[in-house]
Structure 1
């Protein structure tokens, strides 16, 4: 089973949305984790709200610290604005998704970020689990 790790600075917005969306679309066929290089105290409440609009509940989620073990366990590591903080291990696939940070933005500005993440997550899922034939 492929494993994907989403990393952003605070693990309170982009990486949490990406993890929830991939977990939802993969329906148990991909192991999904998220982490932050400098985790916040809680998930951005606006992020929780815009994810709830899609029926995805982040109320039990919390920001998690980035560890070398998490990176080493992942097949694909997707960074979102954390620069060179993420440790690099040979044989891993690294992608950098440049997306605006939702911190401090109102819901109407976070929704397009969420929707762009959803498009990218669906494309990633199609690569990880090609349609059988």
Structure 2
């Protein structure tokens, strides 16, 4: 299966090793792509584990799994990527089966050699 992150590589050679903790995402963009893939495959543990500890209080594994299972993700588009910031568009189907876009500029933190999602700024669709 091709990786959901859009890399065109096989999932088993792209994001899955991060999900399985065989290796750590080397960049903020790699972590962002792997988190998108985790939403697609409903890997709540990975989403929780890669959220910075200072931000986990508002997120639970059950909330992640509910969100992941109730959303049909279509594709990921990276708009901009820098050292610790990634702007992306994630396309998904809403309940009326219409395509919508989640457009976010996400902030990441490198801590003890591992990247973590901290927070993000959402852009209005328009």
| Same topology, TM > 0.5 | no
The normalised TM-score by structure 2 is 0.30
More helix, by proportion: 1
More strand, by proportion: 2
Of the two structures, which has the highest relative contact order with CA contacts closer than 8 Å and spacing of 6 or more? 1
The normalised TM-score by structure 1 is 0.29
